[in-house]
Structure 1
C-alpha cells in the first residue's frame, strides 16, 4: 500500500500478519518485484493501522509504534535491528555505540551495512544512528535527505554536509 509522508511516497507491505517492509521509493519496490516476491496490493486493517501510526508520528503525537513488525535477516542483522529498536525517540547513537551494545566493537562498518538492510525504516529507527562526530551518514543507501527529515522531526542534532 502506498502512502505519502513527509519523507516522500512510501510503500508499506504486510506479510503473514506483520508489517514486513517500509519501502522508501519505487526502486526498492521494483527490486522486490524483480526478485519474484509476490506482493498483493490490498488494503488491510493492519496496513491502515500502520499508516495511521506513521501519520501520528509525523504529526508529533506518537513516539513509539505498536503495530506488529517482522523482518528476516542474518542473526547479526537481527541483533543490530533489535539494538536500533531500543534507541528512544529524540535520541541518537553512533555506529560504534551500536557495535559496543551488541558486543561486537570492531563491527562498526557491518553495523552500517545492517542498517542499510533494515526493511522497516522509521519503525526500526536506523535514522537515529549517526556518525560518531554527529555527521549525517548514509540512510538506506544514499537517502540522507530522508534521514535529515526524520532527525529534524525528532529534534536530533546532527552536522549537515
Structure 2
C-alpha cells in the first residue's frame, strides 16, 4: 500500500492505493510531508484531485479499489452516477438501488465510503434539502457542494 498527502482548500487529504487502484482518500490532520515522493500509482490521483480543486476537472478517470461489502460496493457505484454539480437524497438513492426500504442501509454505506470526492458521497443530502452528515464534516460538505455549484458562492471555509 502506498500513501500520498496533498493540501486542498478544505484541508489535507491522505490518498492510499496500489497498482490495483485507489483504496482510500480521507481528510487528514497529518501535515503534508515536505519532499514527499509520490509513487506512479498515486500521481495520477494527486493530479486529478488538484485539477478538481482548481475547477479544471469535473469527472475522474481513475481505477478505484474500495474495500466493503457487496451492498456497500453497490451503493458506492450508485454514488458515482451522481453528476458533478448535482445532488440526490438518501431516499432517491434507495429507490435507484431498487428498494425504497433500504434508505438506512444506503445512508450507512454512504457514511462508510472510503474514497472521498472521487466517490462523491458529499452529493447526497436530506430529502428536505438539508445537509446531512459527512465524514469530512458539514463545513467541508458545504464547501464541496458550493465548489461544484454553477452559481458563484461566497467564502465558505
Q: TM-score range by the shorter chain?
A: 0.7 to 0.9
Instruction: Determine whether 1:95 maps to 2:98.
Output: no
2:79 corresponds to: 84
Q: Normalised by the size of structure 2, how large is the TM-score?
A: 0.85
Q: 2:20, 2:69 → 1: CA distance? A: 21
| Deviation digits for residues 60-97 of structure 1 (CA, Å, limit 9, x no counterpart) | 11011012111121111111101100011111000000
Following TM superposition, by how much is the alpha carbon of 1:112 offset from its aligned partner in structure 2, in angstroms?
A: 1.4
Instruction: Determine whether 1:151 maps to 2:145.
Output: yes
Q: Any stretches of 5+ residues in structure 1 without a counterpart?
A: 28-40
Q: 2:150, 2:69 → 1: CA distance? A: 29
Contact kept, 8 Å, 1:71 with 1:119, in 2: the verdict is yes
Contact kept, 8 Å, 1:92 with 1:156, in 2: the verdict is no
1:61 corresponds to: 56
Q: 2:110, 2:149 → 1: CA distance? A: 21
> RMSD of aligned C-alpha atoms?
1.8
